[in-house]
Amino acid sequence: MSIERKFQIAAYVIFISLIFAAPVIGDEFWLNRISKYLVYGMLGVAIALTWGYAGILNLGQGLFFGVGAYMLAMSLKLSSLTSLQQGSDKPVPDFMLWNAEPGAPTELCCINKGSFLWLPFQSQSVGLVLGLVLPVVIAGALGMLVFRKRISGVFVSIITLALVLLVRLVMVDAQPVTNGFNGLTDLGWLTIGGIEFDPYSRATYYLCAACLSLTLIGARLIVETRAGMILQAIRDDHVRARYLGFDVSLYQVFFFVISAGIAGVAGMLYVVVAEFASPTFMDLSFSVTMVVWAAVGGRSSLLGACIGAILINIIEAEVSETEALVEAWKAIIGLIFVLVVLFMPRGLGGAAHDVVRWFVRKPKPGQPFPALPQQSEVL
Amino acid sequence: MLDILFIGLSLGSILLLVALGLAITYGAMGVINMAHGEMVMIGAYVAVLSGIWLKTSLLLAIPLAFVVTALLGLMIERVVVRRLYGRLLDTLLATWGIAILLQQAVRLEFGLSFFGIHIQGLGVGLQNVAVPSYLQGTFRLAGADINAYRTFTIAVTAALTLATWFILYRTAAGMQVRAIIRNPKMAAACGIDVKRVNAVTFAFGSGLAGVAGVMMSGFKTVFPDMGTTMVVDGFMVVVTGGVGSLFGTILSSGLLGEINALVAIGTNDILARAVVFGVVILVILVKPSGLFSFKGR
């Protein structure tokens, strides 16, 4: 095992122990905030996986996040008690009751034209399963269409971007079913196997920490399989990979789907932690912001992108404690972003990598400094 | 029916003004300029500010906005974009950062709001621009009510498109730009100063966006975030039309504008935008190089 490899494993171990040790130092409200950032960390991993390892810049990752979030939120909405307090005897989303036509039956099947879509979500497990399955299916279908047609580079970005904005508009427009701009609020708690995940409890924090750790380790392992290697070969030269007989689109679709699955799970966790789902998840700015996190953390480093996401959000939260700095902070983020792209294109992860390499391979006197391998130009 | 088609044409003309600049910068320089929408926004603010402080009419704001945004574009090219040629998606990210900076600059009144100084016309709030009286109201043409300001918008777009066409296809500088679109390395080898031409092209494209902002300020409220949707729409037009094809950009902006107007009449504005996005996705899936593109590169 090379020393660099040891550093890498040590970094993962330290990071995972840190996030599991965090509850020691903070109270529940702080933990709730940190859980959100761990969820963002998962999004960072999802972006790094497609962007750094597959060379696919997905500007619509918010779609998978949003779909995952909405699926679970619909289930949790039906398990919340607010609708019963509104005078209904069955769980019906409160906004449907408010907007119902006079005399409409207060049942999910027929309170309005689209409300039957909510019927399956009376069971929490349906929401949980669909929150993972639907993003995966959408990503699979989209990936088949896009990558089979050998569409690449900026065109993939434009398609994913247009798709997330399209879905967002449809969600906003389908106000009777989705509550439009307001999104879903007043959600119940997720319950798995008798454990209730109160958003302000340690259980929820550990759930997020465990999911992030599994995602990190899983993603790390999968990029080191043969499939992962082929994927990176495709990123570097897809023509040659195709010439060598690999089914290029198959690998691209596979990793696109995995990334979508991670984003879907992240969306579900976010709903558990933040107790709402809203169309802002599918805003252009949110999807680009995820890419920003990954770029600052290091686009071709899974752990780096994850730490980048968490770090930026922690700093942002600290800065925005002071009212006057909220807007200024956004300007600072913009500036950081320009500077990182200009002067540190490989982000924090790349910088850490170089530092380790420099320590490990200190040239002996008279021996030339080993050249760094040429970083492939990741589009 | 004619009035709906006319609304579509005016929507398309705004799209075209935004997309023209993008088409040139993206086609010629391989730069995805996410700050292009902010140029629209700043153009609109030039209209607001010149109305408040110089008491001039919207007409004078057009050349003023062109100059201001062109200079700003030149600065952005010199400071940031120049270092990123050949890294397409990095230009997207860096210019996104610039876009945030520009939005916040307007919102914070260039940082003056921290010191309690407020400039009328800037800041977080919504702004409106007065349209001169001779551009207000409607006139009747072939049995349809035609809005005077929309007609003016279409006329300005047509004039600027013609000017762009003339510069690109009938001047020596335009020939250099077209050479760079086809093959930048070969153009450089033939003695074209690619860096200089790129800088001027970028400034020109930004200036066009500024004019689009002035035109938009006449019928939409002006606010710091208004550019984000514009840049997305502009890119949809450019990609649908075919990268590097002026003709394609013109046709696709008309097409998307008409689709938007027609669907909006049948349903609502939100669904109309959704349908436009759907059409764009289909076009890219079926013909990734765009509807009207030439072979090259």
- List pLDDT tens digits, range B213-234: 998 888 888 888 888 888 888 8
Tell me the mean pLDDT in the region A334-355. Answer: 85
Confidence of residue A376 (pLDDT cuts 50, 70, 90): very low
**For the segment B194-210, what is each residue's pLDDT rounded down to a tens digit?**
888 889 989 999 999 99
Of chain A, the percentage scoring pLDDT greater than 90 comes to 32
- How crowded is the C-beta side of B61, counted as CA atoms within 13 Å? 31
Q: Which distant-in-sequence residues (6+ apart) come within 8 Å of A293 by Cβ? A: A40, A43, A44, A47, A305, A308, A309, A312, A313
For residues B202 and B31, the answer to whether their CB atoms sit within 8 Å is yes
Q: To the nearest whole angstrom, how far is the Cα of B80 from the nearest Cα of chain A?
A: 7
In one letter, which amino acid is A185? T
Chain B, 99 to 128: residues with Cβ < 8 Å from chain A are 99-101, 103-105, 107-108, 111, 114
Please tell me the distance in Å from B125's CA to the nearest CA on chain A.
Answer: 14
Q: Name residues whose C-beta falls within 8 Å of residue B60's C-beta, 6 or more positions apart in sequence.
A: B50, B54
**Which member of A57, A151, A338 has the closest CB to residue B89?**
A57
Closest CA to B161 of B19, B11, B42, B26: B19
pLDDT in tens, A42-74: 999 999 999 989 888 888 899 999 999 999 998
Q: How far apart are the first and last CA of chain A?
A: 31
- Residue A181 burial by Cβ neighbours in a 10 Å radius (0-12, 13-18, 19+): exposed
Does residue A374 have a pLDDT over 50? no
Residues of A in contact with B108 (CB under 8 A): 327-328, 331
Q: What is the pLDDT of residue A327?
A: 67
Q: Which of A154, A170, A379 sits opposite B274 (nearest CB)?
A: A170
Q: Do B288 and A145 touch (CB under 8 A)?
A: no
Does A287 lie at the interface with B, CB-CB under 8 angstroms?
Answer: no
Compute the average pLDDT of residues B112-134: 69
Report which listed range, A103-112, A215-224, B134-143, B216-225, is most confident. Answer: A215-224
| Two structure tokens written together for A339 | 């500077």
Q: Say if A174 is an interface residue toward chain B (CB within 8 Å).
A: no
Strand pairing class (B138-141; A190-192): unpaired
Is the CB of A379 less than 8 angstroms away from the CB of B89?
yes
What is the distance in angstroms between the Cα of B141 and the nearest Cα belonging to chain A? 35
Give the DSSP H/E element, type plus range, for residue A192.
strand A190-192
Number of A/B CB contacts below 8 angstroms equals 117
User: Does A158 touch chain B if contact means CB atoms closer than 8 Å?
Assistant: yes
Indicate the range of B35-39, B79-83, B115-119 predicted with least confidence.
B115-119
Distance in angstroms (rounded) separating the CA atoms of residues B263 and A325: 43
Question: Would you list the domain boundaries of chain B?
Answer: 2-112+133-286
Interface confidence (ipTM) of the complex: 0.85
Q: What one-character DSSP code corresponds to residue B127?
A: B
Confidence of residue A79 (pLDDT cuts 50, 70, 90): confident
Distance CA B241, CA B222 (A): 28
Residues B104-122: tens digit of each pLDDT: 888 877 666 666 666 666 7
The whole-angstrom separation of Cα B193 and Cα B198 is 9
A286-294: average pLDDT: 89
B268: nearest CA partner in chain A? A173
Q: What is the pLDDT of residue B290?
A: 75
**3-class DSSP assignment, residue B141:** strand
Q: How far is B148 from chain A (nearest CA, A)?
A: 31
Q: Residue A309: its pLDDT value, please?
A: 92
Residue of B105, B111, B274 with shortest CB distance to A169: B274
Are the CB atoms for A152 and A238 separated by under 8 Å? Answer: yes
Cβ-defined contact of B277 to A295 (cutoff 8 Å)? no
Rounded CA separation A244/A230 (Å): 11
Verify whether the Cβ–Cβ distance A377 to B87 is below 8 Å: yes
Check whether A260 has a pLDDT greater than 90: yes
Contact A9, A216 (CB under 8 A): no
For A118-150, write each residue's pLDDT tens digit: 888 888 888 899 999 999 999 999 999 899 888
The length of chain A is 379
Cβ atoms B38, B103 nearer than 8 A: yes
Nearest to B271 among A173, A292, A338 (CB): A173
**Is A345's Cβ below 8 Å from some Cβ in B?**
yes
Q: Do A57 and B108 touch (CB under 8 A)?
A: no
CA distance A12 to A48: 16
Measure the CA angle with vertex B170, ends B166 and B175; round to 5°. Answer: 110
Q: Do B89 and A154 touch (CB under 8 A)?
A: yes
- Cβ distance B232 to A328 less than 8 Å, yes or no, reads no
Q: What is the average pLDDT across B246-264?
A: 87
Query: Is residue A377 over pLDDT 50?
Result: no
* Confidence at residue B26, expressed as pLDDT on a 0 to 100 scale: 83
CA–CA separation, A89 and A306 (whole Å): 45
What pLDDT band is residue A167 in, cutting at 50, 70 and 90?
very high
Strand partners, A191: A196
- The pLDDT of residue B295 is 53
Chain mean pLDDT for chain A:
85
Indicate the class that CATH gives domain B2-112+133-286. mainly alpha
The structure tokens 């040659």 sit at A240
CA distance B53 to A299: 46
User: What is the rounded CA–CA span in Å between residue A379 and residue B92?
Assistant: 11
Residues of B in contact with A316 (CB under 8 A): none
Helix (H, G, I), strand (E, B) or coil at A277: strand
